[in-house]
Structure 1
Amino acid sequence: MRLKEIRYPDGLPVDGYGPGFFRIAGELCEGPVLIAAGALVPWAGLEDETPLTALAGRVDLVLVGTGDVIAPLPNRLQARLEADGLGVEIMASPSAARTYNVLLSEGRHVAVALLPVTRAGR
Structure 2
Amino acid sequence: MVELRKDVDFVGPVITGFTSSGFKIGDQRFNQGLLISPEQALGWAVSHLDRLDLAEILSSLNLSPAPEFLLLGSGPSMLQPPAAFRREVEAAGMGLEVMDSRAAARTWGVLRAEERWIVGAFLPLA
Q: TM-score range by the shorter chain?
A: 0.7 to 0.9
Contact 1:65/1:113 (<8 A) preserved: yes
What residue number does 1:70 align with?
78
Instruction: Identify, as 1 or 2, the structure richer in helix.
Output: 2
Select the structure with the greater relative contact order (CA < 8 A; seq sep ≥ 6). Answer: 1
Give distance in 1, aligned partners of 2:89 and 2:76.
23
The alpha-carbon deviation at position 75 of structure 1 amounts to 5.7
What residue number does 1:13 align with?
14
Q: Which residue identity is paired with 1:59?
A: P
Stretches of structure 2 lacking an aligned partner (at least 5 in a row)? 1-5
The alpha-carbon deviation at position 56 of structure 1 amounts to 8.4
What residue number does 1:52 align with?
57
Stretches of structure 1 lacking an aligned partner (at least 5 in a row)? none
**Within the alignment, does 1:101 sit opposite 2:101 as a pair?**
no
Q: Which residue identity is paired with 1:7?
A: D
What residue number does 2:125 align with?
117
Map Cα deviations across residues 34-81 of structure 1 (whole Å, 9 max, x no partner): 001311245322415132354685210111001111112136111101
The number of aligned residues is: 114
Give distance in 2, aligned partners of 1:83 and 1:62.
13
Contact 2:72/2:104 (<8 A) preserved: yes
Give distance in 2, aligned partners of 1:57 and 1:77.
21
TM-score by length of 2: 0.78
The alpha-carbon deviation at position 21 of structure 1 amounts to 1.9
State the Cα RMSD in Å: 2.2
Identical-pair percentage: 29
Contact 2:32/2:44 (<8 A) preserved: no
What residue number does 1:37 align with?
38
Task: Name the SS of the counterpart of 1:37 in structure 2.
Answer: coil
Task: Name the SS of the counterpart of 2:16 in structure 1.
Answer: strand
